[in-house]
Amino acid sequence: MSEWKDGDEAMVTLYRVHGHLAEVECGDYLRTVHVECLHPLPTDPHQALKDAVIEAAKGYMKEGADVALYRELREAVGALEAAQTPPKPDPVEVFYQVTDGQSMCGPYGWKHCKDTRDVCYCRNNIASGLAAVEAARGAK
């Protein structure tokens, strides 16, 4: 059993509801709680897409190899996959946003930056942009 702490939310099974009171199953006996203490379970944001995939698959299995049903099934599966795997951020866009387009040294500046790496604005800006790109690549 997991450790419970203040503020944790727990799922309960409602046995019977009487107006403002509900009987909740608690092992072999029932406890009475006020219905204002109960909250709905969080909804899955992808549930409608999952349901569409299941319904399309059921229809396809019932009707046989119908081209329209197969297309509907493929579209439903594609929508579900797209929703569950958001597109990865564009590395160039991430770099540009972090560096605000001010990242490059001119030829003279770059020679100067090679000698003063710790204080070089454009070198530090490029390093920040590259770090953000690496972080975005790791984001799922």
Same domain? 61 vs 29: no
Look up the domain containing 72 and give its range. 47-84
Regarding whether 121 and 95 lie in a shared domain, the answer is: yes
In a domain, 3, yes or no: no
134 within a domain of the structure (yes/no): yes
36 vs 58, higher pLDDT: 36
| Ranges 13-22, 65-74, 94-103, 121-130, most confident | 13-22
Predicted local distance difference test score (pLDDT) of residue 139: 60
Q: Is residue 132 part of a domain?
A: yes
Percent of the chain residues topping a pLDDT of 90: 1
Query: Does 18 score more than 80 pLDDT?
Result: yes
Cβ neighbours, 10 Å, residue 113: 17
Number of independent structural domains in the chain: 3
Let me know whether 28 and 62 are in one domain. Answer: no
Residue 19 lies inside a defined structural domain of this protein: yes
Whether residue 80 lies inside any domain: the answer is yes
The verdict on pTM exceeding 0.85 is no
pLDDT value of residue 29: 85
